[in-house]
Amino acid sequence: MNSDLNKLQPYPFQKLAALFREVTPNQDYRAISLSIGEPKHATPPFIYEAITDNLSGLASYPTTAGTDALRSTIASWLAHRYDIPTPDFKTQVLPVNGSREALFAFAQTVIDRNRPDPAVVCPNPFYQIYEGAAFLAGATPYFLNTLPEDNYALNFSQLAEEVWQRTQLIYVCSPGNPTGRVMPIAEWKTLFELSDRYNFVIASDECYSEIYFDEAPLGALQAAQQLGRGDYKNLVVFSSLSKRSNVPGMRSGFVAGDARVIEKFALYRTYHGSAMNPVIQSASIAAWNDEAHVAENRRMYAEKFTRVMEILSPVLPVALPDAAFYLWIRTPIKDTAFAQALYRDYNVTVLPGSFLARHAQGINPGEHFVRLALVAETAETVEAAQRIAEFTRGLSVTSSK
- pLDDT of the residue at 186: 98
Residue 260: HSE in the Cβ half-sphere, 13 Å Cα cutoff? 7
Neighbours of 76 (CB within 10 A): 16
Alpha carbon distance 240, 215 (integer Å): 20
Q: What is the mean pLDDT of residues 120-138?
A: 97
Residue 212 is classified by DSSP as B
Task: Tell me the domains of the chain and their CATH numbers.
Answer: 3-42+292-400 (3.90.1150.10), 56-288 (3.40.640.10)
Check if the beta carbon of residue 189 is closer than 8 Å to that of residue 156.
Answer: no
pLDDT digits (tens, 9 = 90+) for 219-236: 999 999 999 999 999 999
Q: Which residues contact 44 (CB under 8 A, 6 or more apart)?
A: 245, 246, 287, 290, 293
User: With pLDDT > 70 as the criterion, what percentage of the chain qualifies?
Assistant: 99
- pLDDT of the residue at 181: 98
Residue 312: HSE in the Cβ half-sphere, 13 Å Cα cutoff? 24
Alpha carbon distance 8, 234 (integer Å): 27
Alpha carbon distance 54, 41 (integer Å): 24
- Is the backbone peptide bond immediately before 178 cis, with ω within 30 degrees of 0? yes
Q: How confident is the model at residue 401 (pLDDT cuts 50, 70, 90)?
A: very low
Residue 384: φ, ψ to 5°: -60, -40
Give yes or no for residue 269 having a pLDDT over 70.
yes
Alpha carbon distance 214, 54 (integer Å): 36
Alpha carbon distance 340, 35 (integer Å): 12
- pLDDT of the residue at 397: 53
Check if the beta carbon of residue 376 is closer than 8 Å to that of residue 384.
Answer: yes
Mean pLDDT (the chain, rounded): 96
Give yes or no for residue 159 having a pLDDT over 50.
yes
pLDDT digits (tens, 9 = 90+) for 324-360: 999 999 999 999 999 999 999 999 999 999 999 999 9
Sign of the dihedral through C-alpha 360, 364, 365, 370: positive
Q: What is the mean pLDDT of residues 19-24?
A: 95
DSSP assignment of 362-375 equals TB-TTTTEEEEE--
Check if the beta carbon of residue 64 is closer than 8 Å to that of residue 264.
Answer: no
- pLDDT of the residue at 396: 67
Residue 303: φ, ψ to 5°: -65, -45
Alpha carbon distance 355, 334 (integer Å): 12
- pLDDT of the residue at 398: 58
- pLDDT of the residue at 399: 54
pLDDT digits (tens, 9 = 90+) for 74-117: 999 999 999 999 999 999 999 999 999 999 999 999 999 999 99
DSSP assignment of 288-326 equals HT--HHHHHHHHHHHHHHHHHHHHHTTTS-----SBSSE
Strand partners, 143: 122
Strand partners, 95: 254
Neighbours of 363 (CB within 10 A): 12
Give yes or no for residue 400 having a pLDDT over 80.
no
